[in-house]
Amino acid sequence: MDKFTVLTAVAAPLPEENIDTDKIIPARFLKTTKRSGLGVHAFDSMRYRPDGTENPDFVLNQEPYRKAEILITYDNLGCGSSREHAPWALLDFGIRCVIAPSFADIFNNNCFKNGILPIALPRDVCTQLMEEARQGANSRLTVDVARQVIVRPDGQEVPFDVDPLRRQLLLEGLDDIGQTLQHEKAITTFEQRRAKAQPWIPHIVLD
């Protein structure tokens, strides 16, 4: 997982509530177990017309938001089914940070597990950030994870809270497997000792 320290990027405004995981990545694209290749289908029903052509009214089809790395929306982002493909699709599109007043719990957890930072801010602040985002490429936000602030285009800072452990994992670029591998030496030593003492019990070898 890539480290997340400081991100300065274009933010895309999507002023909608209750965007569920099926809107983020429709069920018909869930056949894959790979994390790559889903970005082209992110928000598929909103990005594309029935004939497969782009919907020019959708924000991510407009410049400069085609390369947005921050998404600002409204309440209950990621509701619906618990599919982890939703953050996979966002990340593959290029989104590293989502800002909203609230998130569905499982979606929130899955974001952190995949290196996406979900930031919960009051609705009025989200509205202000959306208005600034509509100024286009000249209106970039800076998300500073270490300092836990969003720096607005005019230099004003908006503080946000992140669980200390999750913040550290983002800064170090560690997912669940990465956390486990931090203890590789201790795990290997334990398994070697157990294998000698109880050779009939299957043991783990980290390779």
Q: What are the pLDDT tens digits along the chain (207 aa)? A: 889 999 999 999 999 999 999 999 999 998 877 778 999 999 999 999 999 999 999 999 999 999 999 999 999 999 999 899 999 999 999 999 999 999 999 999 999 999 999 999 999 999 999 999 999 888 899 999 999 999 999 999 999 999 999 999 999 998 766 666 665 677 677 776 777 777 666 655 555
Cβ pair 176, 166 in contact under 8 A: no
Helix (H) or strand (E) holding 99: strand 97-100
* Edge-to-edge order in the sheet of strand 149-151: 117-120, 97-100, 70-72, 6-13, 140-144, 149-151, 157-159
Instruction: Note if the pTM is more than 0.95.
Output: no
> What Rg value do the Cα atoms of the chain yield, rounded?
20
